[in-house]
């Protein structure tokens, strides 16, 4: 803007004039396009990403690399120049691999951010359009609605009970009421006439002119101040990084100790330095942090393909531990495709044929078509449904869709099936909200139509037929959603005081369960996860739908009862009806108090607190408001309950695979450390040299570790109870297994090298045997690790053939290592004879059998 005066100090009319925009028609498309080209898109500059060079250099910023660099230096000092060069080569390869993998993970996450981008409603050339918020330009006329995100900085023109949550900007958690005094002509003293980009509309409506976009918004200012802290960190990765750092320090201390003890015992300083380097290189689990981050990020990428966008990486970990899923009914368990099938009016029952929103079908009574002329109460009931309505039916070829609320769409269809024309033009309306719980409209002829849940409409009526409630209950038991209708006359010209209403009738509509819902509920039950349905609908309807999707037919608890109920009863109930968003929050807390890990779905503005409170807040991608999505950990792209179940499954899979990898990888580190320490304490020659350890890390660990990246989920992953989040990453059972294999490696490698030496083997041969004991044992142990709790040899290989490929590849690589003369020169390896191989293979097989036996003992009965 050319003037220094902030927009709110000038009248909205002035702002509009200056930005060349018509307050009613908005900008023209041509002008908007020209401005977009000139000013750029309404987006914040991408999180100031580090350049590739910096990111590559950062790969060297890890304890392992320090150790390797020091090792290279030491080796060079000892005159082993070839070794030093090889170590440096390894460092570079390691950095390249890390760089590539990190880039992949980050790319997957950036793609996610794009998926959750917001849209805005603008007026251009006099027509309302929905467009990506990025396409807004200064001067655009933008409309705001409860639940939406303010897409740019706006000078407000009109407001209607508008309140905005500005906590994203100001930290102030109480929503700010917006009131430009309804005077677009007036300049304002404060910011009440502005709505700022990135804040959330919590109530009401409004319209305003865009005065700043992208980086020039207030949010853009803040954005510049906040440093981006390289996103991909979760409690789990932090825990692992801490664990890694601890191990590194411990290993380094051990290395120093080894060196000291060895030299004190009179062994050469050079040899002991070599031992210390081998120990440091071998015993530090260097790959771990990277594997964890990448596994999580790839898991997230996979979930997108299955209908769930995870907004926060830690959610992947929590998902696997979910013990209760609280889900909405409408749209999540059901299709949210409403069809009115029954109408009750004037004490008579009618049925409607036809499905979907197409206005083809007939109105019948006792199987006979009905003419509206003889049924005035029916006519009024259907007319009320069409008049008290904000939805629109749109025909797209043969198919009919609703623009707006499906419940209201169904009412338009039922009126159209009866051949009803339009209601008199509307002059005022009270929209349906979860607080008001009914909707009313006032029309030009003074008629007031109202609709809402039966008990709420009855509250507003003078009198009503005695059997209405019973009738509604009956519809409910048939899984139908029931709406009641009423009317009145007023001369007031507004709806500020609603006159007493006259009851008209009921319309009952069917919303069939989603095809996958029952299966997904069953899967959750098998997986030890409770499923609870939380709905605003009537208890009878809720129970009937609940029974259809497999939630049992126990009593439903209403939101009102919820407050007084003790936590035990709450935990035992599966269907909650007539629940308000505030009560949802209390439900989450009650379940958490009972020790549950709670996933909760929501779509409205008022659901945001419950979504935040839940361990996993799940927002609806299609019908959800921006407010709900912002508060959620996960967004469903298809609003389908089955996607939640699949996400939980995926979360469990990711976690499982991490545990598998860690359980598989740790013994080689511990084993190598133990073998070296044992050799020094026993005063024997070094069983492995640093370069040989590096070889193991670069080949065996890498080649055999790869299949974990494509390891499928266990088939029975959803047939076991949820993981207790309080448990450590490695349970006692897993730790025991890691220690067993470490001990086998120690005994096998150390024992065998002793035996070989005693039987005349050279140092080189003995060392080659040690390397091969590690390589082959890691190979058989890989087969053990295909399942954490059951024997899975052939089936495991069939599920993940890469395991076999890796095993064969490793055998080839070890043959090269052992027999190719150049390798013998480089690594001091030596060819082995048949019997030596048999001894090595024996260790690997014994290890396999012992681990399977341990698995069996550990398996819960």
Ligand X SMILES: Nc1ncnc2c1ncn2[C@@H]1O[C@H](COP(=O)(O)OP(=O)(O)OP(=O)(O)O)[C@@H](O)[C@H]1O
**Inter-helix orientation angle 641-682/269-283, to 10°:** 170
* 543 lines the binding site for ligand X (CB under 6 A): no
Residue 795, H or E segment: helix 793-799
CA gap 637, 306 in Å, rounded: 9
119-124 and 127-132: which strand pairing?
antiparallel
Binding pattern to ligand X, positions 353-392, x when CB under 6 A?
A: ----------------------------------------
Contact 375, 541 (CB under 8 A): no
* 538 lines the binding site for ligand X (CB under 6 A): yes
Give me the least distance between CB of 603 and ligand X, in Å please. 7
Closer residue to ligand X (CB): 456 or 790 = 456
Closer residue to ligand X (CB): 388 or 744 = 388
* 19 lines the binding site for ligand X (CB under 6 A): no
Say whether 497 is catalytic. no
Q: Output the six-digit token pair for 646.
A: 């699949």
Closer residue to ligand X (CB): 213 or 332 = 332
How many binding residues for ligand X (CB under 6 A)?
A: 20
Sign, CA dihedral 833-838-841-843, equals negative
Q: Under 8 Å CB-to-CB from 546, ≥6 apart: which residues?
A: 533, 552, 553, 556, 574, 575
Contact 76, 84 (CB under 8 A): yes
Give me the least distance between CB of 604 and ligand X, in Å please. 8
Sign, CA dihedral 397-403-406-408, equals negative
Give me the least distance between CB of 503 and ligand X, in Å please. 15
Measuring CA to CA, how many Å separate 512 from each of 352, 356, 484, 494? Answer: 16, 11, 20, 38
Q: Which of 535, 669, 814, 847 binds ligand X (CB under 6 A)?
A: 535
Alpha carbon of residue 91 to chain centroid: 35
Q: Under 8 Å CB-to-CB from 642, ≥6 apart: which residues?
A: 307, 514, 516, 517, 519, 520
Give the footprint of ligand X on residues 414-433 (CB under 6 A): 432
DSSP one-letter string for 234-257: -HHHHHHHHHHHHHHHHHHHHHHH
Residue 576, H or E segment: strand 575-577
Phi/psi region, residue 147 (left: phi>0; alpha: psi -120 to 50; beta: rest), is left
Closer residue to ligand X (CB): 438 or 774 = 438
Give me the least distance between CB of 342 and ligand X, in Å please. 14
Give the footprint of ligand X on residues 458-487 (CB under 6 A): 481, 483
Catalytic residue, from 83, 153, 165, 328: name it: 328
* 307 lines the binding site for ligand X (CB under 6 A): no
Pick from 241, 221, 245, 220: nearest CA to 232: 241
Q: Which of 537, 607, 633, 640 binds ligand X (CB under 6 A)?
A: 537
Closer residue to ligand X (CB): 214 or 452 = 452
339-345 and 348-352: which strand pairing?
antiparallel
CA gap 742, 754 in Å, rounded: 18
* 746 lines the binding site for ligand X (CB under 6 A): no
CA gap 564, 208 in Å, rounded: 44
Q: Which of 408, 633, 714, 765 binds ligand X (CB under 6 A)?
A: 408
Give the footprint of ligand X on residues 692-731 (CB under 6 A): none
* 439 lines the binding site for ligand X (CB under 6 A): yes
Closer residue to ligand X (CB): 281 or 325 = 325
Give me the least distance between CB of 651 and ligand X, in Å please. 24
Closer residue to ligand X (CB): 535 or 806 = 535
CA gap 671, 753 in Å, rounded: 14
User: Any idea which residue has 């959803």 for tokens?
Assistant: 718
Backbone angles phi, psi at 286, to 5 degrees: -65, -35
Q: Output the six-digit token pair for 660.
A: 């598998």
Interface stretch with ligand X, choices 108-116, 117-125, 329-337, 610-618 (CB under 6 A):
329-337
Residue 206, H or E segment: strand 200-212
* 234 lines the binding site for ligand X (CB under 6 A): no
Closer residue to ligand X (CB): 389 or 699 = 389
Q: Which of 31, 405, 474, 638 binds ligand X (CB under 6 A)?
A: 405
Q: Which of 124, 178, 329, 629 binds ligand X (CB under 6 A)?
A: 329
Give me the least distance between CB of 360 and ligand X, in Å please. 24
Closer residue to ligand X (CB): 220 or 406 = 406
Pick from 313, 302, 332, 293: nearest CA to 650: 302
Closer residue to ligand X (CB): 248 or 583 = 583
Contact 692, 700 (CB under 8 A): no
* 532 lines the binding site for ligand X (CB under 6 A): no
Q: Output the six-digit token pair for 188.
A: 């304002």
* 607 lines the binding site for ligand X (CB under 6 A): no
Q: Which of 214, 285, 513, 536 binds ligand X (CB under 6 A)?
A: 536
Minimal CB distance residue for ligand X: 536
Interface stretch with ligand X, choices 49-57, 311-319, 495-503, 536-544 (CB under 6 A):
536-544
616-620 and 598-602: which strand pairing?
parallel
The SS3 assignment for 382 reads helix
Give me the least distance between CB of 484 and ligand X, in Å please. 8
Give me the least distance between CB of 350 and ligand X, in Å please. 19
CA gap 792, 788 in Å, rounded: 9
DSSP 633: S
Closer residue to ligand X (CB): 536 or 653 = 536
Interface stretch with ligand X, choices 37-45, 257-265, 404-412, 726-734 (CB under 6 A):
404-412
Give me the least distance between CB of 579 and ligand X, in Å please. 7
Q: Which of 214, 385, 453, 667 binds ligand X (CB under 6 A)?
A: 453
* 102 lines the binding site for ligand X (CB under 6 A): no
CA gap 742, 747 in Å, rounded: 9
* 511 lines the binding site for ligand X (CB under 6 A): no
Interface stretch with ligand X, choices 37-45, 192-200, 448-456, 796-804 (CB under 6 A):
448-456
Interface stretch with ligand X, choices 212-220, 270-278, 327-335, 832-840 (CB under 6 A):
327-335
* 639 lines the binding site for ligand X (CB under 6 A): no
Q: Which of 10, 138, 335, 451 binds ligand X (CB under 6 A)?
A: 451
Give me the least distance between CB of 546 and ligand X, in Å please. 11
Closer residue to ligand X (CB): 251 or 382 = 382
The gap between the terminal CA atoms of the chain, to the nearest Å, is 73
Give me the least distance between CB of 203 and ligand X, in Å please. 17
DSSP one-letter string for 389-413: ---EEEEETTEEEEES-HHHHHHHH
Interface stretch with ligand X, choices 83-91, 535-543, 796-804, 834-842 (CB under 6 A):
535-543
Give me the least distance between CB of 535 and ligand X, in Å please. 3
Closer residue to ligand X (CB): 218 or 537 = 537
* 330 lines the binding site for ligand X (CB under 6 A): yes
Contacts by 75-81, CB closer than 8 A, 24 or more apart = 75/274, 75/277, 75/690, 78/270, 78/273, 78/274
Interface stretch with ligand X, choices 304-312, 401-409, 493-501, 695-703 (CB under 6 A):
401-409
Give me the least distance between CB of 637 and ligand X, in Å please. 18
* 198 lines the binding site for ligand X (CB under 6 A): no
Q: Which residues contribute to the site for ligand X (CB under 6 A)?
A: 328-331, 405, 407-408, 432, 434, 438-439, 451-453, 481, 483, 535-538
Q: Which residues are catalytic?
A: 328
């Amino acid at each position: 803007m050319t003037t220094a005066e902030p927009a709110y100090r000038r009248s909205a009319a002035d702002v509009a004039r200056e930005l060349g925009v018509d307050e009613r028609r908005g900008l023209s498309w041509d002008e908007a396009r020209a401005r977009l080209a000139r000013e750029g898109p309404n987006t914040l500059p991408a999180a100031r990403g580090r350049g590739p060079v910096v990111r590559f250099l950062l790969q060297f910023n890890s304890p392992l690399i320090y150790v390797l660099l020091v090792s290279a230096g030491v080796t060079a000092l000892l005159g082993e120049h070839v070794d030093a060069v090889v170590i440096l080569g390894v460092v570079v390869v390691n950095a390249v691999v890390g760089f590539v993998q990190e880039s992949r993970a980050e790319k997957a996450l950036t793609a996610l951010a794009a998926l959750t981008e917001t849209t805005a409603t603008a007026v251009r050339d006099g027509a309302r359009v929905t467009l990506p918020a990025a396409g807004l330009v200064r001067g655009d006329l933008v409309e705001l609605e409860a639940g939406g995100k303010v897409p740019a900085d706006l000078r407000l023109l009109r407001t209607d009970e508008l309140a905005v949550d500005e906590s994203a900007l100001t930290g102030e958690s109480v929503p700010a009421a917006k009131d430009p005094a309804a005077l677009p002509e007036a300049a304002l003293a404060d910011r009440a006439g502005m709505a700022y980009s990135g804040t959330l509309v919590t109530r009401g409506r409004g319209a305003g002119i865009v005065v700043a976009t992208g980086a020039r918004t207030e949010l853009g200012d803040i954005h510049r101040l906040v440093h981006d802290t390289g996103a991909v960190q979760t409690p789990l990765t932090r825990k692992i990084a801490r664990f890694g750092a601890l191990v590194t320090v411990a290993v380094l201390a051990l290395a120093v100790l080894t060196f000291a003890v060895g030299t004190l015992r009179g062994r050469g300083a050079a040899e002991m330095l070599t031992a210390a380097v081998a120990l440091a290189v071998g015993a530090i689990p260097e790959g771990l942090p990277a594997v964890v981050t990448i596994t999580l990020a790839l898991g997230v990428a996979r979930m997108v393909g299955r209908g769930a966008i995870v907004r926060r990486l830690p959610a992947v970990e929590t998902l696997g531990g979910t013990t209760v899923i609280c889900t909405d009914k409408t749209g999540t368990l059901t299709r949210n495709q409403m069809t009115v099938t029954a109408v009750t009016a004037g004490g008579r029952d009618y049925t409607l044929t036809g499905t979907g929103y197409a206005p083809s079908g007939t109105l019948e009574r006792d199987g006979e078509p009905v003419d509206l002329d003889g049924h005035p109460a029916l006519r009024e009931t259907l007319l009320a449904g069409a008049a008290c309505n904000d939805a629109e039916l749109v025909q797209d070829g043969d198919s009919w869709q609703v623009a707006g609320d499906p419940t209201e769409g169904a009412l338009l269809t039922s009126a159209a099936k009866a051949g009803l024309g339009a209601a008199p033009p509307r002059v005022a309306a009270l929209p349906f909200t979860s607080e008001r719980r009914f909707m009313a409209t006032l029309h030009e002829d003074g008629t007031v139509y109202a609709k809402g849940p039966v008990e709420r409409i009855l509250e507003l009526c003078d009198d009503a037929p005695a059997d209405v409630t019973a009738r509604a209950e009956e519809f409910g038991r048939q899984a139908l959603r029931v709406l009641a209708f009423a009317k009145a006359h007023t001369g007031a010209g507004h709806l500020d005081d609603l006159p007493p209403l006259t009851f008209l009738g009921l319309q009952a509509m069917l919303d069939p369960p989603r095809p996958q819902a029952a299966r997904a509920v069953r899967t959750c039950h098998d997986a030890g996860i409770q499923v609870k349905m939380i709905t605003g609908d009537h208890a009878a309807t809720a129970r009937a739908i609940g029974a259809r999707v497999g939630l049992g037919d126990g009593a439903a608890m209403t939101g009102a009862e919820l407050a007084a109920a003790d936590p035990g009863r709450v935990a035992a109930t599966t269907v909650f009806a007539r629940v308000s968003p505030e009560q949802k929050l209390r439900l989450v807390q009650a379940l958490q108090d009972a020790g549950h890990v709670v996933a909760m779905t929501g779509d409205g503005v008022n659901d945001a607190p419950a979504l935040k409170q839940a361990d996993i807040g799940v927002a609806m991608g299609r019908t959800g408001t921006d407010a709900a999505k912002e508060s959620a950990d996960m967004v469903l792209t298809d609003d389908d309950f089955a996607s939640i179940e699949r996400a939980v499954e995926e979360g469990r899979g990711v976690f499982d695979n991490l545990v598998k990898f860690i359980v598989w990888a740790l013994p080689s580190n511990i084993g190598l450390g133990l073998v070296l320490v044992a050799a020094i304490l026993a005063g024997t020659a070094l069983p492995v040299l640093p370069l040989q350890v590096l070889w193991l890390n670069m080949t065996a660990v890498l080649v055999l570790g790869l299949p974990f990246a494509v390891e499928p989920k266990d088939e029975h992953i959803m047939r076991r109870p949820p993981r207790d989040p309080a448990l450590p990453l490695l349970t006692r059972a897993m730790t025991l297994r890691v220690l067993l294999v470490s001990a086998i490696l120690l005994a096998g490698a150390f024992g065998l090298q002793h035996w070989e030496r005693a039987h005349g083997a050279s140092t080189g041969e003995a060392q080659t045997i040690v390397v091969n004991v590690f390589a082959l044992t890691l190979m058989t142990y890989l087969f053990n690790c295909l399942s954490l709790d059951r024997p899975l040899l052939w089936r495991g290989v069939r599920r993940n053939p890469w395991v076999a490929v890796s095993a064969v590849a490793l055998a080839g690589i070890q043959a090269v290592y052992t027999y190719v003369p150049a390798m013998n020169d480089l690594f001091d390896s030596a060819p082995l004879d048949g019997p030596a191989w048999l001894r090595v293979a024996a260790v690997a097989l014994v290890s396999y059998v012992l681990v399977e036996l341990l698995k069996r003992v550990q398996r819960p009965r």
